[in-house]
Chain A
């Protein structure tokens, strides 16, 4: 069974701090990794995607991938109260499989 694991949280950080969200996956065949943000009662919104080992930065967000350790993380710099949401990690197994396996999400609470 292919799985994606996340700590459900809540992860509480003060405004302006760095929030670090982590995710592990079980299948080494995973090729593509995605982070989505989901506000309560809303649909998931794509934040970042990463395919290769290393870091990928986009504004205040940095995605990190370590395929050897089967580990993906999302760093949010200068956290704002508006960042408070559930963050979903998803892995895709590539090619004709092309479905996303989602973790259950980490609830982030940014305290003003």
Chain B
């Protein structure tokens, strides 16, 4: 079974540009999550998509946005890039969610975004 796949592996941008990161979940998983892991900081929750809808959003500015497609793959868009956006962006997927016991999230290898 293929795991979560992310592309590109590395992305280099300059300040003010826009970046698009892509994620394909594990087959059968309907939920996709995005996390940011900046150097020296822990993983910070960005966005959660399930069945094509944005379900929850972390404490990030609106220039971080995304969407989920009918095949459950997802895109993360970051507009007006700033130097502090340099980080590893991780996508995770899970088999939906049920009640109070959340399904485990499985991570992809990440996209390392560098802002020059």
Task: Please list the residues of chain A having a beta carbon within 8 angstroms of any beta carbon in chain B.
Answer: 31-32, 34, 36, 42-46, 49, 51, 88, 90, 92, 94-105
Contacts and interface: CB of A to CB of B under 8 A. Distances in A.
Contacts of A95: 97, 99-100
Interface residues on B, range: 20 to 34
B58 interface: yes
Nearest to A45: B107
A43 B56 contact: no
Contact of A88 (B43, B48, B88, B100): B43
B62 interface: no
Contact of A46 (B43, B106, B108): B106
25 contacts: A31-B102, A32-B101, A32-B102, A34-B104, A34-B105, A43-B90, A43-B107, A43-B108, A43-B109, A44-B90, A46-B105, A94-B100, A94-B101, A95-B97, A96-B55, A97-B56, A98-B48, A98-B55, A98-B56, A98-B97, A99-B45, A100-B35, A100-B45, A100-B105, A102-B44
B31 interface: yes
Interface of B: 31, 33, 35, 41-45, 48, 55-56, 58, 88, 90, 97, 99-102, 104-110
B95 to A, nearest CB: 12
A31 B45 contact: no
B101 A51 contact: yes
- Kindly name the residue among A32, A34, A98, A104 whose own CB sees the greatest number of chain B CB atoms within 10 A: A98
A43 B110 contact: yes
A49 B104 contact: yes
Given A32-B102, A45-B107, A92-B102, A99 B43 contact: no
A45 B33 CA distance: 15
A32 B90 contact: no
